[in-house]
Amino acid sequence: MIFFLTIVCQDHYQFFNNTITREIILAVMNRMKDRFKCDFPAWVILPDHIHWLIKPNDADYSKVVLAFKRAINLEFKKNEIVANNKIWQDRFWEHTVKNDEDYGRCVDYIHFNPVKHGYVENPHEWRYSSFHDYVAQGFYENDWVGGKDIDVSGSEYD
């Protein structure tokens, strides 16, 4: 199974608005991949939330998310990015990917998200996304811009 996750910062505070915090997130994501032997087929890091496709394999994806949140908390404190601030909303949103069409819609949604929120005009301009991997693999053209009508049921909460 594959799950589409949205993990949001407390009160939509923009903790991930710089290269340092985004690089920490990427490093922790890679640690979680190795630790839990799971895959993250698509992802995007935005200033106040993260979208992920997670293929947990034998792992419990909720434990992966919990470990990820805890690791980010520790790294941010260690790097003096936060002191005692609450970084995350208590819960996260999830959607079970139902089939190949749904998978494609989720991937498009993830990659279009920086455009949707007005950070860039084209997904290739957003560095912190798996979009570039998909271009390299031939799934997208570099100038793909998606569309505002991409919908994943429940994703309006991002």
DSSP β-bridge partners for residue 49: 8
Residue 103 a catalytic site member: no
- In whole angstroms, give the CA distance from residue 21 to residue 128: 11
Pick the catalytic residue from 61, 109, 128, 140.
128
- At 57, the amino acid letter reads N
What is the number of alpha carbons within 13 Å of residue 30 lying toward its C-beta? 7
- In whole angstroms, give the CA distance from residue 58 to residue 64: 11
* Active site amino acids: 128
